[in-house]
Amino acid sequence: MTGNDSFIVLRQVGKIYRMGDVEVTALRDISLGIQEGEFVAVMGASGSGKSTLMNILGCLDRPTAGRYLLAGRDVSQMSRGELAAIRNRMLGFVFQSFNLLARTSAVDNVGLPLQYAGVSYRERHQRAEEALRQVGLADRLHHHPSQMSGGQQQRVAIARALVTKPRLILADEPTGNLDSRTSTEILALLQELWRSGLTVVMVTHELDIAEYASRVVMMKDGCILSDTRRQARVADAAVESATAEAVL
Amino acid sequence: MTPLETLRVAVYALLRNKLRSFLTTLGMIIGVAAVIAMVAIGEGAKAQVEQSFASMGANLLVVQSGTTMAGGSRGGFGTLPTLTWEDLKAIQTEIPSVRYAAPVLRSNAQVLTEDQNWTTSVSGTTPEYFEIRSWSMASGTFFGQSEIDGGAKVVLLGQTVVDKLYGPYVDPVGQMVRIMNVPFQIVGVLAKKGQSPMGQDYDDAVFVPCTTFQAKIQGGLQKYLSGSIFVGAASSETTARAQAQIAELLRDRHHIQPGIDDDFSIRNLTEMASAQQEGTETMTTLLASIAAVSLLVGGIGIMNIMLVSVTERTREIGLRMAVGAKPRDILAQFLVEALALSFAGGLIGVGLGVMSAYRLALQFGWPTLVRPEIIVIAVGFSALVGVGFGLYPALKASRLDPINALRFE
């Protein structure tokens, strides 16, 4: 399970935060392997270490112990600049609170990661448009976040995660701010991406959300409690079929 | 990111907050405008002083004869004729640092035409006088050596005299005037010279050959030069040396023993000029430094707003980092924002400063002078302020931890 050939390899990863004189152990001795094309849900109560794990997987943070190999490269000792480049090229983030730039059109929001990839303005615009079409927002290109519903905003955020053509999508409570119907739409979209070959890692604390993943990792007190592969529940909604057609 | 891309992002971010960006820039605008306007006023005053001294004559020394003593009351310089025509010749020939030396014999007299009269200063001199004063002709010619040798009854009129006798825009060359009942032919009109540093009108004067002056206007001693000698030194550096050399020469010629006072005086007008110039320069420096303080305040305003902006946009910074912005991308972005604010402020400030300098010139009749160097310096300094005060907020932004920044409320 932690073979070196996996897409993601964590080997005895630990993370200790120092807050003044107090040391807080957020992760202890985590070993985990994720194959390319898996849809993994990381579950746990708050304080279980799932967010810390997510930050390390997302190259936003470095482990204080152990090694993290992403696509065969050891990223645990990279500098901030190198990590930024890895995030830019290989990862796409979806956040609970969308984190879209206010007063900025959907197209410009989606094109943002490409700015840091040195892509020209015209190509950025093209690729952003393409990504927005992929998430079913072809008719909202020039809308600002304030003019869109929560579900639409999260779709813009997913389009932003997709625009760099990453290999791994990291979703941190992607449905946390959405109602159940919209949540299903977003989950259907994530499943769609997963089926097209992307690896998806999603943090959630809701069991019924985790059901949509093909593998559930339960965490508690910084350790992995259980790790089960299962049949993913298909996000069903007539609403999504149109989106699915748009993607295919 | 390319620099152009960074600039685009920065300008875009500033335009999202137009009012705030404008208010931030306002500090810079006022600072730069104040510097430009203040320096323009100072430079204008300086140029005016320089010009009035230049019209007085370059590197000018004035040699005057001694004083009379009557019953213990001393008459002042020039009252006792001690300078001789031989002294003049000696100054001209024996001192190499003297380029020109000219006698100036002065009197006030009435100048009459057929139907007008005007009382003005009449001076007897030689053509060198006009070289020393760098005074050119508006029309006609200077009198020459032959007129001096022959004591010709020719006269040069200053512009004010022409205006008073003939009215403006009249060329009286060739006409006759009478001075002390002696008819003189006008051979030339002098170019307008303006005022002396003390406000005396240079153009209210007429000039005749010194020999004619002695023979017809103010009879006097033939040996003594009953006036002063204007000396033009070769350069401003040699003026002081020429002064010392003339003093030595005259003491020697007048047989003055060591320890006895000079029976003549030499005034160095270049010294006076440089003292006045120093005065105006001090004023310029003072005005500019007051204005520079407001520029500094403008810079602090930029720093303040950039710090607010960094705090306010913490989540944006976190997001940008999450999607691939390197710390130096963030640094560059905020630095360029600060720079764009201050540079825009600098440019607008230059426009405003130049405009207000012209307004002041128009409104109050103050001489103002906007020098291109000042514009370059002001804009350059404002850019420097932008970098200087923008660096700390930008560094702060670039050092944010993306995780904390994304969670920032």
Within a domain: residue A69?
A: no
CA distance B154 to A2: 117
Residue contact B326–A89, C-beta within 8 A: no
pLDDT at A1: 46
Q: What residues contact B268, with CB distance under 8 A and at least 6 apart?
A: B60, B61, B239, B240, B243
Residue contact B324–A87, C-beta within 8 A: yes
A60 touches chain B (CB under 8 A): yes
Q: Is the pLDDT of residue B61 over 90?
A: no
Distance from CA of B324 to the nearest CA of A (A): 4
Q: Is the pLDDT of residue A248 over 70?
A: no
Q: Which of B235, B262, B289 is the last residue of a domain?
A: B262
A95 touches chain B (CB under 8 A): yes
For chain B, percent of residues with pLDDT exceeding 70: 95
Q: Which of B204, B234, B262 is the last residue of a domain?
A: B262
pLDDT, mean over chain B: 86
DSSP state of A95: -
CA distance B406 to B400: 10
Q: Is the pLDDT of residue A227 over 90?
A: yes
Q: Do B32 and B152 share a structural domain?
A: no
pLDDT, mean over chain A: 90
For chain B, percent of residues with pLDDT exceeding 90: 23
Q: Is the pLDDT of residue B366 over 60?
A: yes
pLDDT at A162: 94
Within a domain: residue B69?
A: no
- Distances A117 to A149, A166, B286, B326 between C-alpha atoms, Å: 29, 12, 51, 11
- Reported confidence tier of residue A46, pLDDT bands at 50, 70, 90: confident
Q: Do B131 and B19 share a structural domain?
A: no
Instruction: Write the DSSP string, B54-81.
Output: HHH-TTEEEEEE---EETTEE--TTSS-
Residue of chain A minimizing CA distance to B16: A103
Chain B CB contacts of A123 below 8 Å: none
Q: Is the pLDDT of residue A231 over 60?
A: yes
Beta carbons of B230 and B242 less than 8 angstroms apart: no
Q: Is the pLDDT of residue B221 over 70?
A: no
Query: Structural domain tally of chain B?
Result: 2
pLDDT at A52: 92
B201 touches chain A (CB under 8 A): no
ipTM score over 0.85, yes or no:
yes
pLDDT at A237: 58
pLDDT digits (tens, 9 = 90+) for B117-135: 899 999 999 988 888 888 8
A123 touches chain B (CB under 8 A): no
Angle between helix axes B314-322 and B269-312 (nearest 10 degrees) is 70
Mean pLDDT of the region B214-230: 79
Residue contact B320–A116, C-beta within 8 A: yes
Q: Do B216 and B86 share a structural domain?
A: yes
Contacts 24+ apart (CB under 8 A), A127-133: A127/A163, A128/A159, A128/A163, A130/A163, A131/A159, A131/A160, A131/A162, A131/A163, A132/A106, A132/A107, A132/A156, A132/A159, A133/A246
pLDDT at B364: 82
Chain A CB contacts of B330 below 8 Å: none
Q: Do B130 and B236 share a structural domain?
A: yes
pLDDT digits (tens, 9 = 90+) for B165-197: 888 888 889 889 999 889 999 999 998 887 776
Distance from CA of B286 to the nearest CA of A (A): 46
Q: Determine the structural domain holding residue A218 and report its residue range.
A: 36-62+79-247
Give the domain CATH number at A242: 3.40.50.300
Which range has the worst mean pLDDT, A9-18, A24-33, B184-193, B260-269? Answer: B260-269
Q: Do B290 and B247 share a structural domain?
A: no
Within a domain: residue A111?
A: yes
Within a domain: residue A136?
A: yes
At residue A211, the 3 state secondary structure works out as coil
Q: Do B15 and B128 share a structural domain?
A: no
Which residues 315-334 of B are in CB contact (within 8 Å) with A?
315-316, 318-329
B9 touches chain A (CB under 8 A): yes
Within a domain: residue A209?
A: yes
Q: Do B257 and B130 share a structural domain?
A: yes
Q: Is the pLDDT of residue A240 over 50?
A: no
Which range has the worst mean pLDDT, B67-76, B164-173, B191-200, B268-277? Answer: B67-76
Q: Determine the structural domain holding residue B370 and report its residue range.
A: 3-52+275-407
Which residues 38-77 of B are in CB contact (within 8 Å) with A?
none
CA distance A207 to A230: 13
B399 touches chain A (CB under 8 A): no
Within a domain: residue B74?
A: no
Within a domain: residue B100?
A: yes
Within a domain: residue B61?
A: no
B371 touches chain A (CB under 8 A): no
Range A22-32 burial, b when 16+ CB lie within 10 A, else e: eeebbbbebeb
Chain A CB contacts of B327 below 8 Å: 80-81, 84
Tokens of B181: 């009942």
Q: Do B229 and B150 share a structural domain?
A: yes
Beta carbons of B40 and B353 less than 8 angstroms apart: yes
Q: Do B362 and B250 share a structural domain?
A: no
Within a domain: residue A55?
A: yes
pLDDT digits (tens, 9 = 90+) for A128-171: 999 999 999 999 999 999 999 999 999 999 999 999 999 999 99
Mean pLDDT of the region B79-85: 78
Query: Structural domain tally of chain A?
Result: 1
Within a domain: residue A12?
A: no
CA distance A85 to B70: 100
Q: Do B122 and B27 share a structural domain?
A: no
Q: Do B41 and B97 share a structural domain?
A: no
pLDDT at A2: 47
Within a domain: residue B15?
A: yes
A103 touches chain B (CB under 8 A): yes
Q: Which of B241, B262, B283 is the last residue of a domain?
A: B262
Q: Is the pLDDT of residue B273 over 80?
A: no
Within a domain: residue B65?
A: no
Number of CB atoms found within 10 A of residue B19's CB: 7
- Reported confidence tier of residue A239, pLDDT bands at 50, 70, 90: very low
Which range has the worst mean pLDDT, A8-17, A90-99, B62-71, B326-335? Answer: B62-71
pLDDT at B68: 63
pLDDT at B361: 85
- Distances B203 to A53, B8, B133, B210 between C-alpha atoms, Å: 93, 61, 12, 19
Residue contact A58–B324, C-beta within 8 A: no
Q: Do B180 and B299 share a structural domain?
A: no
